[in-house]
């Protein structure tokens, strides 16, 4: 008999099936054991009745421990008390792998303990739900760009120099040369945009800042589209359309997981275009009206982003920050040269920056001056400057942080649960 998955059981009511999985929990009385079986697709209650299986098998079932792996055969039946729920009346059962003293009990645990057992914690229903939402988000991101004729052009992970020159990088040895783990694929995407028109990359990025907050990881995944002949306005529209598509896809396909996470759905259902757009200057005024001491030239910290985003019922786009606080490749606003043609999308409900991007500087001379002004080594950027020497073109793009997006959509308080094996300031294992 071919094994079926728990998720498929509703199509097999009245039939005998084989199931393979792990014991999630068990409740017992004198003549009946209730095994809760988990197989990765879901969980189902399996009934082992003394009179159905005989004393030998009944006794074996009684000795099973949490997370033992099993194969069982049984008939799929409607749950006698719960509408729409099925259970399995077991007729045969084989213990495949025992499990002695499984460390994660159904009671509470501390974060550090759970992170030490992250390889096992992934089995619990909450972590399962989060990572399924993560998968749905990634699926939606890829589908969004693929449907719009973007070409996936992944950027390298070893890089010879800093992209932005600001953040701390992880340094590593590369055949007796220094190399750094990438903090962004963007410069490479600009080359890709010149070759393919519309390109995106999706991969891990690394930041070595000694940062320890609920929104930081040393290793995180980023999606970075870059489009030739697109300006800042087009960039904002693209970011807005992407987020709408992603949220709609999760709402459509992962509602049980969101319910498991007790995620309030109304704020997600409001994520529809158009998103409000405010300039940096307007954001400063908004903060001042709220009694937050902020003046032109200040960057926004977590508190400021929260104040701004709480003013709106959906993601808000803040554009045209002072050029002085932004990376060297940002194009200046011709109408106000002290401003950069850049934008950040702030997630609602205080989730802060989930997208950052903008239009890139396409004039060779201006870019050279900017590299010098930022005191970056010109040699390292010669290839990048070639993109301005050979058919320069207006272009724009952005980066979307996957973990912050997962955290927002799942309604979590920390990004550490949004990635299977988080790399944090003090955690490199498991």
Question: Which range touches RNA (CB under 7 A), out of 103-111, 172-180, 192-200, 289-297?
Answer: 103-111
Phi, psi of 101 (to 5 degrees): 55, 55
Cα–Cα distance for residue pair 69/99, rounded to 1 Å: 8
The token duo for 378 is 């010109």
216 interacts with RNA by CB under 7 A: yes
Q: Minimal distance in Å, beta carbon 170 to RNA?
A: 12
Please provide the distance, in angstroms rounded to a whole number, between the alpha carbons at the two ends of the chain: 37
The owner of tokens 């201006």 is 366
* Secondary structure element (H or E) that encloses residue 250, with its range: helix 232-253
* Alpha-carbon distance values, 255 to 1, 241, 250, 263, 265 (Å): 32, 21, 7, 9, 9
Q: Pick the binder of RNA from 353, 364, 374, 384 (CB under 7 A).
A: 353
197 versus 292: smaller Cβ distance to RNA? 292
Please, what's the largest Cα pairwise distance for the chain? 86
Q: Is 289 in the site for RNA (CB under 7 A)?
A: no
- From residue 309 to residue 348, the character string flagging contacts with RNA as x (rule: CB under 7 A) and all else as - is ----------------------------------------
CA distance 23 to 13: 22
Q: How far is the CB of 177 from RNA (least distance, A)?
A: 25
Residue with Cβ nearer RNA (153 or 186)? 186
Q: Which of 197, 302, 350, 411 binds RNA (CB under 7 A)?
A: 302
CB closer to RNA out of 349 and 353: 353
Nearer to RNA, 41 or 43 (CB): 43
Confirm or reject binding of residue 175 to RNA (CB under 7 A).
no
In the complex, minimum distance from the CB of residue 130 to RNA, in angstroms, rounded to a whole number? 15
**Burial 92-129, CB ≥16 within 10 A → b, else e:** ebebeeeeeeeeeeeeebeeeebbbbbeebebbeebbb
Q: Which residues, 43 to 102, sit near RNA by CB under 7 A? A: 45, 47, 49, 51, 65-66, 79-82, 87, 89, 101
Q: Does 118 bind RNA (CB under 7 A)?
A: no
Among 317, 390, 391, 383, CA closest to 348: 317
Q: What is the total count of residues that contact RNA (CB under 7 A)? A: 70
Query: How far apart are the C-alpha atoms of 360 and 162, rounded to whole Å?
Result: 17
8-27 positions binding RNA, by CB under 7 A = 25, 27
Q: Which stretch binds RNA (CB under 7 A): 31-39, 134-142, 152-160, 275-283?
A: 31-39
Which residue, 151 or 211, is less far from RNA as judged by CB?
211
Burial of 168 (0-12, 13-18, 19+ CB in 10 A): middle
Nearer to RNA, 103 or 420 (CB): 103
161 contacts RNA (rule: CB under 7 A)? no
Query: Minimum distance from CB of 107 to RNA (Å)?
Result: 3
- Count CB-CB contacts under 10 A for residue 371: 20
CB 275 within 8 A of CB 240: yes
Which residues contribute to the site for RNA (CB under 7 A)? Answer: 25, 27-32, 34, 36, 45, 47, 49, 51, 65-66, 79-82, 87, 89, 101, 103, 105-113, 115, 164, 166-167, 184, 207, 209-218, 220, 222, 299, 301-303, 305, 352-356, 399-401, 403-404, 414-415, 424, 426-427
């Amino acid at each position: 008999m071919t094994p079926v998955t728990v998720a498929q059981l509703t199509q097999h009511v009245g039939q005998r099936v084989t199931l393979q999985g792990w014991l999630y929990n068990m409740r017992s009385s004198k003549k009946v054991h209730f095994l809760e079986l988990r197989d990765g697709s879901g969980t189902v209650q399996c009934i082992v009745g003394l009179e159905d299986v005989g004393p030998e098998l009944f006794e074996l079932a009684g000795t099973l421990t949490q997370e033992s792996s099993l194969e069982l055969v049984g008939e799929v039946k409607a749950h006698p008390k719960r509408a729409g729920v099925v259970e399995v009346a077991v007729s045969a059962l084989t213990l495949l792998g025992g499990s002695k003293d499984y460390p994660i009990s159904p009671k509470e645990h501390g974060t550090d303990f759970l992170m030490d057992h992250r390889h096992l914690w992934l089995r619990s229903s909450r972590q399962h739900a989060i990572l399924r939402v993560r998968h749905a988000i990634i699926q939606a991101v890829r589908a969004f760009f693929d449907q719009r004729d973007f070409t996936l052009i992944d950027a390298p992970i070893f890089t010879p120099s800093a992209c932005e020159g600001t953040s701390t990088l992880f340094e590593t040895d590369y055949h007796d040369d220094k190399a750094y783990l990438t903090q962004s694929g963007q410069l490479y995407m600009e080359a890709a945009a010149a070759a393919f028109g519309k390109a995106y990359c999706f991969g891990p990025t690394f930041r070595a800042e000694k940062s320890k907050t609920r929104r930081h990881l040393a290793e995180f995944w980023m999606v970075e589209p870059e489009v030739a002949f697109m300006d800042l306005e087009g960039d904002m529209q693209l970011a807005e359309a992407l987020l709408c598509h992603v949220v709609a896809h999760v709402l459509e396909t992962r509602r049980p997981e969101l319910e498991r996470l007790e995620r309030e759905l109304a704020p997600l259902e409001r994520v529809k275009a158009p998103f409000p757009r405010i300039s940096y200057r307007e954001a400063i005024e908004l903060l001042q009206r709220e009694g937050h001491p902020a003046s032109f030239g200040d960057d926004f910290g977590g508190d400021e982003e929260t104040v701004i985003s709480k003013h709106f019922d959906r993601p808000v786009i803040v554009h045209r920050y002072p050029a002085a606080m932004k990376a060297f490749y940002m194009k200046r606003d011709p109408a106000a040269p002290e401003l950069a043609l850049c934008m950040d999308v702030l997630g609602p409900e205080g989730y802060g920056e989930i997208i950052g991007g903008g239009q890139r500087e396409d004039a060779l001379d201006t870019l050279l001056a900017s590299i010098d002004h930022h005191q970056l080594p010109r040699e390292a950027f010669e290839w990048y400057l070639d993109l301005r020497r050979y058919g320069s073109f207006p272009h724009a793009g952005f980066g979307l942080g996957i973990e912050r997006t997962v955290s927002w959509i799942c309604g979590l308080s920390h990004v550490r649960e949004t990635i299977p094996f988080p790399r944090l300031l003090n955690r490199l294992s498991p």
